[in-house]
Copies of this chain bind each other. A is one copy, B any other.
Amino acid sequence: MRKVAVIGVGQTRFSGAQGKSLSELFAEAAFEALADAHIESKSVQALFVGNALGDFAEGQGMTPAFIADYIGAWNVPANRYDGACASASVAIRDAFLLVAAGVYDIVIAGGVERAASLGTPLATRTFAMFSDSRYEFPAGMTFPGVFALLAHRYAAVYGLPIEKLKEQMAQVSVQSYNHGMFNPKAHLKKSVTIPDVLKSFTVATPIQLHDCCPFSDGAAAVVVASEEAAKTLSPRPVFIAGAGQASSGPLASQGAYLPRLKARELSARQAYAMAGITPADIDVCELHDCFSIAGIIAAEGLGFFEQGKAGEAWLKGEADIGGKVAINPSGGLKSKGHPIGATGAAQVYEVVRQLRGEVEPERQVPEARIGMTDTLGGDGGTMVSLIFKRGW
């Protein structure tokens, strides 16, 4: 297998409902990524797009076939992946594997979603399709409910008073908002305090409004290239050093293992093994904080902190820039926004730019050399881990 690099990244601003089509949104991100990679559309040999809800948002399925034509990557194989919120990460992993294998030299991979355009009731209803449609949604289990249950379970398993956990969760959001303030592409830009979070309205006990990410519109894309192609095109290639992916069924299938998610831990283990590193080597990580409790569970599942201790780490600044590992300097799903199918690619966009040292100074992780992304689809049904290393 060949070495594979990311040589270009692009992202639209994440936002509420806006008027661009899926093709237009993805094109905006793709052209930025192509320009960043100093290549033209005709150099692209395949297009892999994560998109979970395009059919519902604008009555368009099989979107990548139209996007390929739209961006001038004529007639290339164009795949659509639905791994729910992890769709783009599945697309990028596939691109990585097929470039590594020598099938393609240059692939654009990413994702696009108009989750905000769906409107709130339909967005909530359609998101719930990514949990088990037979047993979870009919029982009232939309995602705030799923993560509220996980928060209660977390508190019970680790013997944490719920008020203490709520304070930790609040700090996860506070930190994300702090960084998102300085991300020009973030959806929600505001400064909030722990009391602000705690007094925001209750979505599903113990989850408050500020514990939840927004529904966003947006797209992100990355140019994935063989080492050989990267050498001639990019002075600063960021190599994909490791990748993992694992699945699981309904949340209940994980039984007593909860609040831990086995699929994440398996996926991360694959990625660490491939990269030949340990969690302690990660300088910066964009992880899946669709709810603040999800961020805490992710940080533990990836091995950054002991089980039951991540919330404390957040409160101590150990999960922030300058701490043990800089988590979500982009603002995370919480502040940057969560356009489902695009989220994994936006995480890669951020990590690559962090490793290149080119984000806004207020949120740049100093000397970041190794980065990671963690993306969760549904209530853990699809988990993808990617590890990146500077190539210079």
Question: A109 CA to B47 CA in the complex, in Å?
Answer: 20
Give the complex CA separation of A75 and B246 in angstroms: 5
A21 in contact with B250 (CB, 8 Å): no
* Min CB–CB distance A95 → chain B (angstroms): 11
Give every chain B residue within 8 A of A253 (Cβ-Cβ): 69
Cα of A13 to Cα of B74 in the assembled complex, Å: 37
For A65, what are the chain B residues with a Cβ–Cβ distance below 8 Å? Answer: 83, 247-249, 377-378, 381-382
Q: Which residues of chain B are near A262, meaning CB under 8 Å?
A: 75
Interface string of A61-103 (1 = CB under 8 A from B): 1101110111000111111111110000010001001101111
Q: Give the residues in chain B near A76, CB-CB below 8 Å.
A: 246-247
Instruction: Indicate whether A305 reaches chain B with its CB closer than 8 angstroms.
Output: no
Give A28-42 as 1s and 0s: 1 = Cβ < 8 Å from B's Cβ atoms: 000000000000000
A224, CB-defined interface residue at 8 Å: no
Q: What residues of chain B lie closer than 8 Å to A128, measured between beta carbons?
A: 59
Name the one of B64, B66, B134, B263 contacting A75, with C-beta atoms under 8 angstroms: B263
A249 adjacent to B79 (CB under 8 Å): no
A389 to chain B, nearest CB (A): 20
With the chains together, A382 CA to B64 CA distance in Å?
A: 9
The contact string, 1 if C-beta is below 8 Å from chain B, for chain A 101-121, is: 111000000000000000000
Asked if A306 is at the interface (CB within 8 A of a chain B CB), the reply is no
Name the B residues within 8 Å of A102 (CB-CB). 1, 101
A139 to chain B, nearest CB (A): 13
Residue of B nearest to A133 (CB): B60
Q: Can you give 29 A-B contacts (C-beta < 8 A)? A: A1-B101, A21-B134, A55-B55, A55-B129, A59-B129, A60-B132, A60-B133, A61-B84, A61-B126, A61-B129, A62-B130, A62-B378, A65-B247, A65-B381, A68-B249, A70-B249, A75-B263, A77-B90, A77-B245, A78-B381, A78-B382, A79-B94, A80-B81, A81-B81, A82-B82, A97-B98, A98-B98, A101-B101, A101-B102
10 closest pairs, A vs B, by CB?
A69-B249, A101-B101, A65-B381, A78-B247, A60-B133, A77-B245, A61-B129, A65-B247, A80-B82, A62-B84
